[in-house]
Amino acid sequence: MAFDETLAARVRDVIGEHPGLREQKMFGGLAFLIDGNMSVGVVGDELMVRVGADAYEDALELAHARPMDFTGRPMRGFVHVAQPGFRTAAALEKWVDRGVEYASSLPKKG
């Protein structure tokens, strides 16, 4: 599945020059990793956000968010956000910040 390049550019603009930032194709899209930990990604025309297990249920309560499910079993701690949920720059920034904050809290990977 191809990913939305325009959305990827918007995510890049929000993340900016974050230390330890790396992009990697995964999950059929493009993931943004912080020190080796996935933070946010673009899959198709949707946003994928790693919120962590503790914030997972609260994230699912937000409009346009749903469990990330690639295998028939939801991945706890990850959510997909449909386009209306990040249409504005402020909404996208909130989601990206959630993912970056969580990934930055994890130990660095190799």
Residues listed for the chain: 110
Write the CB contacts of 37 (distance below 8 Å, at least 6 apart in sequence). 50, 103, 104, 106, 108, 109
Q: What is the pLDDT of residues 13-36, one digit of tens each?
A: 999 988 899 999 987 899 999 999
Q: Domains in the chain, ordered, with CATH?
A: 5-105 (3.90.1150.30)
| pLDDT > 70 fraction of the chain, expressed in percent and rounded | 97
**pLDDT given for residue 69 in this prediction:** 82
**pLDDT score for 2:** 82
Q: Which residues pair with 40 in a beta bridge?
A: 32, 49
- The whole-number pLDDT of residue 72 equals 75
Q: What is the pTM of this model?
A: 0.93
Using 50 as the pLDDT threshold, list the residues of the chain that sit under it: none
Angle at 10 between CA 6 and CA 22, to 5 degrees: 100
**What residues are paired with 74 via a beta bridge?**
none
Q: What percent of the chain has pLDDT over 90?
A: 83
CB 82 within 8 A of CB 19: no
